[in-house]
């Protein structure tokens, strides 16, 4: 009889868990034994060898955390002389009988401790110690009455994030029990030849060693194997997509009619750059081919990607089909809508917008027009995903700032058409090495040069007072300014609101100040941005919500406060909000840290205006792991994005990238020889479970 895989076994069947505790685990997104195995410790502590009192007193430098064992000699209850609060002091003789140490219990811990502590019992302790003239004292510590089978001492001990309903020691026991009973059920799906060639552990062994290793080196190898398998499944899905596009034909044909494209291009108030011309040619060739387009358009901030995308939408319109243009924010959607209306003025092209916050009547009417085909280009936010939104003949999907959307959101949109052509865009340049591995199923186009007339933005570092004086001079010239604050511990509204009051009342009381942050309603955000665009606001105090979707040519100066809190890509995106007109623009950073890594990042930003070059620097400085999180790439759904231990486990900052490249090479080799995964059913099963609905066209049969 075939054994059930750990992905199919409910966590409630693990010894000690049961139906009630499984409900607590479900709140941690743990439903199966596999889910439990994948909740790795966020740190592991070396509690192998206990220290004696003699050893501690002989040390020149006492470790921050100590492990000691011994026998309880006395339990003393007393009152604090200052606060009159109860204190429980437990005197313990160490295991070598070289001296005594003391445990201090306060408040609610006293009642808990008295349930277990008795004179004569052996105890193990881990925590912070204080050396005083009266002896060694533990005040912040874990303890356990020693008995056979302890999981919390005499080993490398895993520490997990749990909830208030789950005791850490009990959770640790659940993990151990699950590994003992079910690790053998972890089906191995990486080919044996790959395991041998790269000396990877088998999957069942890796799960054991990642939680309860004998050494930290052993744990690092287990992490590496499990991380590889995560990347491997992702790259198998990418490879499947890549090969499936080569054989899936779209059910429609386009021709280049130029009835709209030619007059539109002649009426534009500017000439296309060489980069834009090349991008349009590549996209048009994709659209005219019998296979669906699946292309990534990368362009630096202000490089003119929107006009390129609009060219594609007009070719689709000329052939009688619809385009959906997806933007991640309300601000960006409205910006695209207003820009395209101006560019399409006088042409027989119907453009519509569908976003959150619309009046019910307006929204209903727009949905009706989309369904009946009365709208040629639909610009929208997440509102387009709604089930009620149906297209008459959707053919092209354009996704702007694609990294801000998750796999399944994109999938919902692609299911509104049959084999649609897809163009995804980003103004966040992606390092070449990452683009190859993360987006191997996409053809890639880059626009590197800026439109003529654009001047490079001067970037300098000043003190806040000097920066405010620069702002005052620009406002007096009739220009406008941004002042941006970082998001720190989700207190962005509080920080930026306090700053807004300071600027309004003390620093710039004679200027018109606006406030923008993420907690404003869509209508409030739109009003602020409209006021700023129409010069009713001279200085906009904001969080990073201005990072995309704002085009105010009259804004010529930006202050980024606490610039060390931002990555290079975000800094570059923010800087891209200025320099959009003909006047000279200046980006000023203020820095509040002496951290060498942060200062190095700022130094690159000060001397470089090329987003592609900055992306490469960001990869070196922060490591590839920063690109795997949801904030950077919504499509990269990998478990290790959230594992806090990995930075400590791998000293090489770009080892993640090396492992991802390896996973890509192995996956593409397998799929090239077996594109339908006929001979690798376990891989097929895992791709389908994790990614099939998230990749644009992958339908695994």
Q: What is the pLDDT of residues 131-148, one digit of tens each?
A: 999 999 998 899 999 987
C-beta separation of 282 from 315 below 8 A:
no
Angle between helices 203-211 and 168-182 (to 10 degrees): 160
Angle between helices 596-607 and 611-622 (to 10 degrees): 170
C-beta separation of 344 from 263 below 8 A:
no
**pLDDT number for residue 699:** 37
**pLDDT number for residue 431:** 62
- 123 bridge partner residues: 70, 145
**Residue 351 to residue 378: CA distance in whole angstroms:** 6
- The 10s digit of each residue's pLDDT in 278-314 is 999 999 999 999 988 888 888 877 788 889 999 999 9
Instruction: Indicate the SS3 state at residue 57.
Output: helix
pLDDT band at 622 (very low <50, low <70, confident <90, very high): low
Instruction: Indicate the SS3 state at residue 422.
Output: strand
The residue-averaged pLDDT of 467-478 equals 95
- 318 bridge partner residues: none
**Residue 143 to residue 155: CA distance in whole angstroms:** 14
Q: Tell me the longest C-alpha to C-alpha distance in the chain.
A: 95
C-beta separation of 444 from 328 below 8 A:
no
**Residue 470 to residue 479: CA distance in whole angstroms:** 12
Q: Which of 507, 512, 404, 517 is nearest to 464 (CA)?
A: 507
Q: 289: how many CB neighbours lie within 10 A of its CB?
A: 14
Q: Which of 369, 293, 278, 333 is nearest to 697 (CA)?
A: 293
Torsion angle defined by CA atoms of residues 636, 637, 641 and 642, in that order, rounded to the nearest 10 degrees: 150
Instruction: Indicate the SS3 state at residue 454.
Output: coil
Mean pLDDT check: name the lowest of 250-259, 326-335, 402-411: 402-411
Whether 410 has a pLDDT exceeding 70, the answer reads: no
Which is it for strands 86-94 and 100-106: parallel, antiparallel or unpaired? antiparallel
Secondary element (H or E) of residue 443: strand 443-447
Which is it for strands 458-461 and 586-589: parallel, antiparallel or unpaired? parallel
CA distances to 18, 126, 162 from 60, rounded to whole Å, are 49, 20, 36
**Residue 501 to residue 663: CA distance in whole angstroms:** 52
Average per-residue pLDDT for the chain:
85
Q: Which of 687, 697, 699, 698 is nearest to 234 (CA)?
A: 687
Q: DSSP for 657-675?
A: HHHHHHHHHHHHHHHHH-T
pLDDT band at 652 (very low <50, low <70, confident <90, very high): very low
**Residue 469 to residue 99: CA distance in whole angstroms:** 66
Would you say how long the chain is, in residues? 701
Please compute Rg for the chain using Cα positions: 30
- The 10s digit of each residue's pLDDT in 242-264 is 777 667 788 899 999 888 999 99
Q: Which of 558, 554, 559, 552 is nearest to 528 (CA)?
A: 552
Q: DSSP for 315-340?
A: HHHHTT-EEEEE-SSHHHHHHHHHHH
Q: Which of 454, 470, 474 is nearest to 462 (CA)?
A: 470
Q: Which residue has the higher pLDDT, 246 or 665?
A: 665
pLDDT band at 453 (very low <50, low <70, confident <90, very high): low
**pLDDT number for residue 630:** 31
Per 3-state DSSP, the chain is made up of helix, strand and coil in percentages (nearest 5) of: 45, 20, 40
- The 10s digit of each residue's pLDDT in 84-127 is 678 899 999 999 999 999 999 988 888 888 888 999 999 999 99
Q: 101: how many CB neighbours lie within 10 A of its CB?
A: 22
**pLDDT number for residue 150:** 87
C-beta separation of 391 from 416 below 8 A:
yes
Q: What secondary structure, in 3-state letters, does 365-397 show?
A: HHHHHHHHCCCCEEEECHHHHCCCCCCCCEEEE
Whether 388 has a pLDDT exceeding 80, the answer reads: yes
Q: Which of 39, 40, 38, 32 is nearest to 14 (CA)?
A: 32
- The 10s digit of each residue's pLDDT in 52-82 is 999 999 998 888 899 999 999 999 988 776 6
**pLDDT number for residue 267:** 87
C-beta separation of 384 from 365 below 8 A:
no
**pLDDT number for residue 61:** 87
User: CA 335, 339, 340, 346 torsion: positive or negative?
Assistant: positive
Q: 459: how many CB neighbours lie within 10 A of its CB?
A: 21
Whether 650 has a pLDDT exceeding 50, the answer reads: no
Q: Which residue has the higher pLDDT, 473 or 618?
A: 473
First to last CA, the chain: 25
Q: In 594-629, which positions are buried (b, 16+ CB within 10 angstroms) versus exposed (e)?
A: eeeebeebbebbeeebebbbbbbbbbebbbbbbbbe
C-beta separation of 472 from 508 below 8 A:
yes
> Residue 357 carries which DSSP code?
T
Q: In 254-269, which positions are buried (b, 16+ CB within 10 angstroms) versus exposed (e)?
A: beeeeebbeebeeeee
Share of the chain above pLDDT 90, in %: 49
Q: Considering the entire predicted model, what is its pTM?
A: 0.67
Long-range contacts of 680-683 (CB under 8 A, 24+ apart): 680/189, 680/191, 682/187, 682/189, 683/189, 683/233, 683/236
Q: Which of 679, 674, 672, 699 is nearest to 687 (CA)?
A: 699
- 437 bridge partner residues: none
C-beta separation of 206 from 26 below 8 A:
no
């Amino acid at each position: 009889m075939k054994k059930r895989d750990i992905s199919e076994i409910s966590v409630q069947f693990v010894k000690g868990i049961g139906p009630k505790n499984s409900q607590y685990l479900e709140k941690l997104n743990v439903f199966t034994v596999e889910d439990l195995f994948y909740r790795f410790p966020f740190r592991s502590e070396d509690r192998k060898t206990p220290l004696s009192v003699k050893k501690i007193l002989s040390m020149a430098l006492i470790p921050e955390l100590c492990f000691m064992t011994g026998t309880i000699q006395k339990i003393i209850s007393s009152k604090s002389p200052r606060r009159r609060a109860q204190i429980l002091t437990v005197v313990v003789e160490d295991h070598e009988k070289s001296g005594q140490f003391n445990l201090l219990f306060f408040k609610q811990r006293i009642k808990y401790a008295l349930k277990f502590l008795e004179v004569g019992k052996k105890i193990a302790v881990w925590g912070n110690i204080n050396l005083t003239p009266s002896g060694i004292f533990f005040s912040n510590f874990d303890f356990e009455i020693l008995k056979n089978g302890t999981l919390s001492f005499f080993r490398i001990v895993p520490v997990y994030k749990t909830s208030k309903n789950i005791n850490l020691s009990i959770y640790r026991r659940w993990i151990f029990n699950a590994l003992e009973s079910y690790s053998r059920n972890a089906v191995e799906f990486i080919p044996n030849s790959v395991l041998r060639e790269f000396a990877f552990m088998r999957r069942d062994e890796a799960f054991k060693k990642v939680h309860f290793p004998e050494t930290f080196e052993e744990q690092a190898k287990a992490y590496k194997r499990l991380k590889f398998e995560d990347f491997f499944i992702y790259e198998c899905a990418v490879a499947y997509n890549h090969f499936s596009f080569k054989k899936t034909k779209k059910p429609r044909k386009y021709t280049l009619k130029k009835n709209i494209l030619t007059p539109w291009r002649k009426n534009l108030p500017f000439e296309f750059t060489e980069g834009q011309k090349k991008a349009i040619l590549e996209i048009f060739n994709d659209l005219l081919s019998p296979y669906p387009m699946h292309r990534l358009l990368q362009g630096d901030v202000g490089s003119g990607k929107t006009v390129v995308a609009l060219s594609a939408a007009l070719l689709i319109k000329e052939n009688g089909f619809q385009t959906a243009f997806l933007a991640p924010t309300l601000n960006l959607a409205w910006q695209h809508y207003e820009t395209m209306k101006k560019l399409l003025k006088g042409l027989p092209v119907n453009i519509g917008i569908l976003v959150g916050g619309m009046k019910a009547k307006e929204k209903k009417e727009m949905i009706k027009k989309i369904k009946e085909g009365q709208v040629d280009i639909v610009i929208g936010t997440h509102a387009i995903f709604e089930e009620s939104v149906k297209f008459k003949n959707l053919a092209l999907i354009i996704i702007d700032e694609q990294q801000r959307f998750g796999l399944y959101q994109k999938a919902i949109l692609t299911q509104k058409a049959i084999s649609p052509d897809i163009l995804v865009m980003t103004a966040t340049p992606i390092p070449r090495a990452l683009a190859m591995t993360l987006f191997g199923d996409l053809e890639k186009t880059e626009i590197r040069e800026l439109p003529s007339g654009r001047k490079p933005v001067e970037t300098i570092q000043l003190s806040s007072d000097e920066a405010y004086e620069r702002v005052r001079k620009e406002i007096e010239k009739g220009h406008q300014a941004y002042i941006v604050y970082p998001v720190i511990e989700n207190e962005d509204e509080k920080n930026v609101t306090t700053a807004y009051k300071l600027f309004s009342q003390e620093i710039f009381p004679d200027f018109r100040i606006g406030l923008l942050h993420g907690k404003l309603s869509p209508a409030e955000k739109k009003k602020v941005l409209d006021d700023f665009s129409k010069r009713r606001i001279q200085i906009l105090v904001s969080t990073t919500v201005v990072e995309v979707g704002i085009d105010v040519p009259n804004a010529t100066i930006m202050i980024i406060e606490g610039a060390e809190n931002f990555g290079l890509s975000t800094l570059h995106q923010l800087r891209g909000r200025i320099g959009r007109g003909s006047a000279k623009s200046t980006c000023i950073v203020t820095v509040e840290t002496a951290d060498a890594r942060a200062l190095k990042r700022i130094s690159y930003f000060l001397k470089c205006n090329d987003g592609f070059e900055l992306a490469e620097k960001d990869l070196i400085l922060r490591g590839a792991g920063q690109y795997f999180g949801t904030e950077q790439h919504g499509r990269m759904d990998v478990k290790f994005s959230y594992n806090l231990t990995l930075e400590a486990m791998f000293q090489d900052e770009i080892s993640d990238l090396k492992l991802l490249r390896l996973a890509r090479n192995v996956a593409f080799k397998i799929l090239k020889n077996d594109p339908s995964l006929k001979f690798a059913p376990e891989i097929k099963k895992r791709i389908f479970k994790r990614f099939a609905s998230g990749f644009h066209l992958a339908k695994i049969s």
